[in-house]
Each structure stands twice: as C-alpha cells, then as structure tokens.
Amino acid sequence: MTGLTISADPTPISSASFNVLTAATYEIYGTHVPTTMQQGTTAILNVTVRNIGAKDGSTDVKFYVNDTLKETKNLFVQKASGTNTTQFAWNAAGVQPGNYLIKILAGNDEFTATVNVVQATCSDNINCADNEICNLSNQCEQLLCPPNQTAFNHTCIDCTKFDLDGNHNVDIFDVVAGLEYLSEGKQIFNEGCTARNQYKIDLFDLLILIDKI
C-alpha cells in the first residue's frame, strides 16, 4: 500500500505516522492562559486541540483549577491535523491571592500552567464586593462588622441573627425563607450576621436555625 502524506497547516504529518494513527487522536496544540489576574476579574482561557488521527471525532476538553474540575466541553475536530478552539472562563471573585494550578486535559494530552491571582486594586467602593470597602492603599478590604451587624452596600448595618424573613421574629418561617433563597434565589434579610462565614448562608446555617427553634 502506498503511504499517503497529508500536507496541512499548521503542521504536516508524515505518511508513516498517518498510517499508524488511524483513529482520532487528540493533542493540545495551543493555549492562551494569563500568568496574572486580579481578584474579582474573569480570565478567558483559549484552548486549541489538534486531531492527528485519520478519522474525524469529538473529545472532552476538561478545565481544572488546583485539581478541581471546573468545566468540561465537548469539541469536534476534523482528521488529518485539523484543529478546533474552545474557551473557558474563570471568575476570580472570592478567590484569595496566591498561585493557582491550571490544568487542561484533551484526549491523553495535558497542559498545566500557574496563574498568580493578585489582590484587586480600586479607586472607590464600586470596584469592591458588597461586603468590602476600598481602603487607603487602593485595595478592596473585607468589612469586619460586630456580631449584631452585617455588611451591606460597603457599610455595616444592624442585623438580627436568623431573622431571614425580616419580620423581627425567629421562627419556622425563617427556615422556609432560607430554603427558598437557596433553591430559588428569593430575597432574604439579615444574611451577614446569620451566615457562619458572615457573608452567605448555606444549608448548615439553616440546620443551626432549626436546632434553635
């Protein structure tokens, strides 16, 4: 059988390798990953996958941060050195400053890089989260409110712990309000002083509330 040579951009493959790689075979051909990003910003990661096999096919492209799977996309790539590109978005809101390992898997190929998340700079409170203020060093700083207060709109306001429906009573209806907030995103009150992390409630906070009723 006469060997077939495929000439393709960006890189041709030899007749010998083409004859052996009859199935779709994927490799990560190119990536664009930032080395540094600020807290609260979103990084766009571009990944180009090449199929050096002799058949068209699709493969899962997986995006990890510190070995935690963030997203998976299925990508179709044509045979004979065909390429296709996909994107992942990583939002660093709530991410602490430091180095994070980025890992991308496609087929049996793997790409890794380190991204340094730095503290966000600010000029006013608008650039900071609701529970933060812009300090004199132009850094977003988390508000530390007293136990009877919660952070709201960049300041500390009075707060009644576990009064999630805002009627000044703590009862079973606050549990209902909390469940509707977690499942449907409905409005609640006094979240900051109720949540164990002084920011957002979760199911464990509601279990504590149930135990108190």
Q: What is the mean pLDDT of residues 183-193?
A: 87
Q: What is the pLDDT of residue 129?
A: 79
- The residue range of the domain holding 90 is 15-118
How many Cβ atoms are within 10 Å of 176's Cβ, its own excluded?
Answer: 14
pLDDT digits (tens, 9 = 90+) for 141-181: 888 888 778 777 888 888 888 999 989 899 999 999 999 99
Cα distance between residue 167 and residue 182, in whole Å: 19
Q: Does 6 map to a domain?
A: no
pLDDT, residue 40, reads 81
Long-range contacts of 197-206 (CB under 8 A, 24+ apart): 198/131, 198/145, 198/150, 198/151, 199/131, 199/151, 201/164, 205/178, 206/175, 206/178, 206/179, 206/182
d(CA 48, CA 108): 14
pLDDT in tens, 112-123: 999 999 987 888
- pLDDT (0 to 100) of residue 72: 97
- 48/197: higher pLDDT: 48
Q: What is the pLDDT confidence band of residue 11, given thresholds at 50, 70 and 90?
A: low
Three-state DSSP at 207 gives helix
User: Does the residue 8 lie in any domain?
Assistant: no
Asked whether residue 110 falls in the same domain as residue 40, the answer is: yes
pTM over 0.85: no
* Total number of domains in the chain: 2
| 131 lies in the same domain as 88 | no
